[in-house]
Amino acid sequence: MSSHRADDLPGSVLDGAELVDHLERWSIGESSVVFDSGRVISVRTDRVESADGSTFHRDVVVHPGAVGIVALDDDERMLLVSQYRHPVAHRLLEPPAGLLDVAREPPHVAAARELAEEGHVRADDWRILVDPFTSPGMTDEAIRIYLARGLQAIPVAERHVGTHEEADMPVCWARLTDVVSSILAGVLHNPILVMGALACHVAAAGEGWDRLRPVDAGWPVREDLAKR
């Protein structure tokens, strides 16, 4: 099979400075909430007016957002929790993570709380890895994934006791390189794990931790969603 350079293929070629997502808001003729769980999510239907003047309807799963944490020890082993996930009927290996459902709680504070509650550790060094939209074709869920290092165990007597799925959520550790290999083999599936571990692996092999954003850096895309 022959290959071709991008210059010979459809579309333009972007340089690094142009690789940016841009805010663009099409008009909404009408919007109505069609389902509200009263817990985490609701669903609304928007009548969207497109740039060419046509209209169409889209269902949007409204989500409060979440944080996830790639926590590494001094040997670059990653903290994982084993959690049952009812919608997919699987027990998944995942990083500590949680919803941004506490009013006015800064995301990095929520991340530190979730790491303590689920992983039973605290961290001295925090950086931002990636800020993905999990499924932008159907939900406004935005996630910030952090890197946490300089870990210390929380004393057993002070550890959080989980409920529901979190009541049976053991902690384990695995080398980051092994986690990446298992992701590429298709046997690990949690999206925060996939995105966080791969981003962490790339950062470690490239420009290093110090080039990552600081823990309190702004989160413009989520801040814009909160204004809608």
List, by residue number, the catalytic residues: 166
pLDDT tens-digit readout, 125-139:
999 999 999 999 999
pTM for this predicted structure: 0.93
Residues of the chain above pLDDT 70, percent? 97
Q: Kindly list the structural domains of the chain, giving each domain's residue range(s) and its CATH number in brackets, ordered by start.
A: 23-62 (no CATH), 66-227 (3.90.79.10)
pLDDT tens-digit readout, 153-175:
999 888 878 777 666 789 999 99
* b (16+ CB within 10 A) / e for 114-147: bbbbbbbbebeebbbbbbbebeeeebbbbbbbbb
